[in-house]
Amino acid sequence: MEDWKIRISALWFFTIVSDLANVLMSLSYPGILEELETMGESMGPELMLVGAIVVLIPLIMAVLTLTLENPINRWLNIILGIFMALIFLGSFIELATTMPAPYIMLLSIAGFIAPVLIVWYAWKSKNQP
Over residues 21-30, the pLDDT tens digits come to 998 998 888 9
Q: Residue 110 domain-assigned?
A: yes
Q: Please report the pLDDT score of residue 105 as a whole number.
A: 93
Q: Residue 37 domain-assigned?
A: no
Q: Residue 8 domain-assigned?
A: yes
Strands (DSSP E) contained in 1-129 are none
Phi-psi region of 82 (alpha: psi -120 to 50; beta: other; left: phi over 0): alpha
Q: Please report the pLDDT score of residue 99 as a whole number.
A: 86
> What is the distance between the alpha carbons of residues 20 and 98, in angstroms, rounded to a whole number?
18
Domain count for the chain? 1
Q: Residue 128 domain-assigned?
A: no
Q: Please report the pLDDT score of residue 44 as a whole number.
A: 77
Single-letter amino acid, residue 126: K
- b/e for 33-45, b at 16 or more Cβ within 10 A? eeeeeeeeeeeee
Structural domain harbouring 7: 3-27+43-123
- Show Cβ contacts of residue 68 under 8 Å, excluding neighbours closer than 6 positions: 76
Residues of the chain with pLDDT under 70: 1, 40-41, 127-129
